[in-house]
A = this chain, B = another copy of it.
Amino acid sequence: MSLSQVAAELDARDPLAGKRAEFDLEPQLSYLDGNSLGAPPRSVAARLDEVVRKQWAGRLIRSWDEGWWQAPERVGDRIAPLVGAAPGQVVVSDSTSVNVFKALVAAVRLNPGRPEILVDSTTFPSDGYVADSAARLTGHEIRRVPPAEMAAVVSERTAAALVNHVDYRSGLLHDLPALTESLHAAGALAVWDLCHSVGAVPMRLDAAGVDLAVGCTYKFLNGGPGAPAFLYVAEKWQERFDQPLSGWAGHADPFGMTEAYAGGAGISRARTGTPEILSMLALDAALDVWEDVTVEQVRAKALALGDFFLRCLDERVPGAEVLTPRDHRRGNQLSIRRPDAKRVMAAMTESGIIGDFRPPDVLRFGLAALYVRYVDVLRAAAFLSGWPG
């Protein structure tokens, strides 16, 4: 059988094949950049129209009492099962960078007397920038360490470690439970960045004993460009969660207008300012696509997509330098290094195969299994084999 026949057969047998119709994607488009910006679920446009015309225009200020004010916790509770968290531990708020700041400052305050913060040296840069700033303000030292070395480096000096679940560049998936356990063994808190795994890789934050976690919602959760991020605070830490962006929305009695800050109960104290309702409810609508599908199903298909992509590359682009593990220690993307990566991706995009480029020389292909087809990864491999041909 040719690769085209295999792809067609895999797509025909794909139990998730019907999910693509829930997204507003042109049929001929191969969209392999869900690791950067998820595709739009069809439910979003209608929901935004309703929010603007019925809620904002129709009810005006009253909508704050009719669901808006509690949306950060409510939508957070919709994300919770996707990260293996019991309700009441996830809140949607701000950007990932802002939440990293909250989480790190809170973490070192939970673990006083330890002068050091470990930061994943392969992190998406923003986390590192924000960690530097948090450390400067709290008087901690930052030590940059690859996740693979963290278990060996963590010590009684370490207050907390900030680690990415998936390496944004290579797609390597780190062992969240094992590293969390190693960090805890040294008395350090584990702060995970789930941006590249949430909605793609099954995880059980509660079971793993993760302390704090952040993640974005515009990649595999399809919440829309710049959709608000989320923050997970394990229940055991909530009462002592002492965060630096202590705005009114996290206050125990926000409308009491008291002079002194008093953090709210539970996860609410992780909130800061007035929640960004339009973006938040677009995300809420986008999460509807998860109602009849599990992360495990999505993961199974994404691994099969990746395996098939590797097979296509092996046959059609035998010299390709794949940065991502060939086994299943990978997240939800395949990364390929080639010196002409930037030009290649521009040309692919022109031809209707959209992935992305990360400097200096990495092509990334996201395998968002809710809408990516086997034919899409075959097309990507075929393009690479023929280019610039």
Binding site for B on A (CB under 8 A): 24-25, 31, 33, 36-37, 39-40, 44-45, 48-49, 52-53, 56-57, 60-64, 68, 94-98, 101, 105, 121, 124-126, 128-130, 132-133, 137-138, 144, 169, 216, 218, 224-229, 244-249, 251, 255-261, 272-280, 282, 349, 354, 356, 358-359
Instruction: Out of B39, B48, B126, B277, name the residue touching A49 (CB < 8 Å).
Output: B48
How far does the alpha carbon of A40 sit from the alpha carbon of B227 in the complex, in Å? 21
Is A256 a contact partner of B359 (Cβ separation < 8 A)? yes
A62: which B residues are within 8 A, CB to CB?
A: 349, 354
Is B33 a contact partner of A274 (Cβ separation < 8 A)? no
A261: which B residues are within 8 A, CB to CB?
A: 128-129, 132-133
Is A226 a contact partner of B277 (Cβ separation < 8 A)? yes
A24-B53, A255-B359 known; A274-B64 Cβ under 8 A: no
Is B359 a contact partner of A244 (Cβ separation < 8 A)? no
Is B224 a contact partner of A125 (Cβ separation < 8 A)? no
Copies in the complex: 2
Is B95 a contact partner of A247 (Cβ separation < 8 A)? yes
Instruction: Out of B125, B133, B247, name the residue touching A98 (CB < 8 Å).
Output: B247
Supplied contacts A48-B278, A124-B257, A255-B359, 13 more A-B pairs, CB within 8 Å: A33-B61, A37-B60, A40-B56, A52-B224, A56-B225, A94-B98, A97-B272, A98-B245, A126-B273, A144-B259, A226-B277, A278-B279, A279-B279
Q: List 6 A–B pairs whose Cβ atoms lie within 8 Å, in order of A's numbering.
A: A24-B52, A40-B52, A95-B247, A95-B273, A97-B273, A97-B274
How far does the alpha carbon of A244 sit from the alpha carbon of B276 in the complex, in Å? 22
A277-B225, A278-B226 known; A36-B52 Cβ under 8 A: no
How far does the alpha carbon of A234 sit from the alpha carbon of B34 in the complex, in Å? 38
A248: which B residues are within 8 A, CB to CB?
A: 97, 124-126, 129
A257: which B residues are within 8 A, CB to CB?
A: 124-125, 169, 358-359
> Taking CB as reference atom, which chain B residue is nearest A261?
B129
Instruction: Out of B39, B52, B227, B277, name the residue touching A57 (CB < 8 Å).
Output: B39
A37-B64, A246-B130, A356-B61 known; A52-B56 Cβ under 8 A: no
Instruction: Out of B57, B64, B244, name the residue touching A24 (CB < 8 Å).
Output: B57
